[in-house]
A and B are shown apart, each in its own frame.
Chain A
Amino acid sequence: MSAKGIEFRDVTIAYDRHPAVHHLSGSFPAGSLTAVAGPNGAGKSTLLKALMGELPLSGGVIDRGGLSARDFGYLPQAADIERRFPLTVADAVMLGAWRETGAFGGATRAAADRARQALSAVGMDGFERRHIGSLSAGQFQRVLFARLLMQDASVIVLDEPFTAIDARTTRDLLEIVQRWRRDGRTVIAVLHDFEQVRAHFPRTLLLAREAIEWGDTDSALSAANLLRARSMAESWDEEADPCDADDRRRA
């Protein structure tokens, strides 16, 4: 669906001057299915937030290939969502019609029908009037996937979509991810489970603040690379010198 891919050119994202993602270059080709994997603190969620334009870049460029914010469907981490907000399942899914309704427009009958179909596709028929606070973690994740289906985005960005989710739900939702890929959508997902990545994701960015490898999953997740990733994710060095990569490049 998306004509061009998304390209990172020498991207650095820093908190308090310390890089969380350091000089990252590579691309998510259009229609590709890529896992972003790596140890805790590797910068995976930071990378997604920067891709979504939520964090400023300290250096480099992200070329989104002419896509605008509305072409992206984003699933934040569960912790960033207020589960206790008094919203029904139907209302939560209808937020996915934002591209048509915008902030103020009315919801059409067609959008409501699509919301019902989306709920049905994630196995949540009959839950429309349920309160989101009464759902299990797995059911709630299904609802968020239904919202993504509603959004009909050409690029889908998932931040830890299967963390603390039961095996059956994970399997069902992975099936939806595969369907997105068959539709030609670009899918980028932060994942922890390397077996899951090997089984379902053809491409992988193995991240440990820098790209250990960005390419085919089999090669990216080699034993040597995983060992490197583990050893590189050290904590911040308060005494670190300013990065001289820019100087070297200029020289």
Chain B
Amino acid sequence: MSELAIELKGIDKSFGLVHANRNINLKVRKGTIHGIIGENGAGKSTLMSILYGFYQADHGDIVIDGKTIKIRDPNAAIAAGIGMVHQHFMLVENFTVLENIMLGAEESQILNASITKARAELKRLEKDYALEVDPDAVIEELPVGLQQRVEILKALYRRADILILDEPTGVLTPAEADHLFRILEQLKAEGKTVLLITHKLREIMAITDEVSVMRRGEMVATRTTKDTSVEELAELMVGRRVLLRVEKGEAKPADVKLSVKNLTVRDSRGVTMVDDVSFDIRAGEIVGIAGVAGNGQSELLEAISGIRRAKSGTVSLNGSAIDVTGHVDPAELRKRGLAHVPEDRHHVGLVLKFEESENAILGYHDDPKYRKGLLLDVDAIRADAEEKIAAYDIRPPNPRLKTANFSGGNQQKIVLAREMERGPDVLIIGQPTRGVDVGAIEFIHKRIIEMRDQGKAVLLVSVELDEIRALSDRILVMFAGRVVGERMPDATEGELGLLMAGVEGRKEAAE
């Protein structure tokens, strides 16, 4: 028996000209929770894909439990006792829990015997690890927290001793995340080894025993968690000192710039997504909307920005009404001083196949300064893009590069530069730092505060509670389409978490 569950020796992997993993050495001790952190594109996912058999390393050895093995495909990984919980679940939505767990592990063509066996085994696992879930529930009817539990059960059912979790808390409420961590502790107590990949430093500090940091394809450090600090880890990730706390002065709220009254929005199926929501935002303040993804925040932003038609209610911008229940032209709203950084930059905020400069005018392409007679003035557009690239430090600084080839952080900067540089009165921002690396997060947060200090009204929607608390001057919590509470940013995480889970809110609404 070996002391180490996993040992990676000199793992090297290139895709074409991109060196994704460079001579990676990693030792994971048995029965520990080992964190791996790093910015987007640092090579964490590639490394885990090599460990799980999606890719093969160009060089290097994988030693599992003291034996050097070749992992050619996920089946080989499963046989070696490795289980993986993906960021995006790999579940068949209209199958039951039991069917999903058995899938691919059936033992014969006739399923009866396997089903009986699986059911018994599932019971045992549930008992051993406190992982309750109804085996006959259909996946699509389960909340995400439980779906994730099914993924973990799937791995355990296949007798995994090593469990890899890729960004597991991205879709969870704080309470659900806490529950997940208790499960992981339980697994550890049973002697399993957990490999946790995340970009959230706080989670690393809360749950791991050891932590390894990746930067630009290299493993730069491994630390014992209790001997390190958030600041040190952030510095290791980025390669320079990072300001984690946003410096921000007092807000000086002035006139109401955006006023939403009794707004109700239904989705295409007729389900009410935003239910009778009202709030005001003043010049010079940031109002944050906290909530678990899917509680109506997206629809709220879409209705205000004119992309989705509202069922009822009124919205006024700079004192004059927007016809949110009728036909709204988003281009017209831009002219009236509304800028919108959409939640989904890949499909909405940007056209990934466009050149950078073409995206830098999206939504503003009607501006006469980009035109020369009947034609677009390509030189003016590129010059304009170059100015924004310089001001926002967008890399690489090439306005002719295809947008898909920029990193997440730089793509987000393209959108921000476009929306902020026009000096709008009202800025609505959805998920400003989703999939953005730590270095860029700092920059983006600073810009948002700057906008506030210039007297803009900012509406901020984010599923990252830390971000909401760091930036907002007031916090509204949404649950099931309703605003269930308003808090100041000094409210505790626990308090906000209960509101986000709809526990407190129901009481408050009843009063």
Tell me, yes or no, whether A binds B: no
Interface residues of B (CB under 8 A from A): none
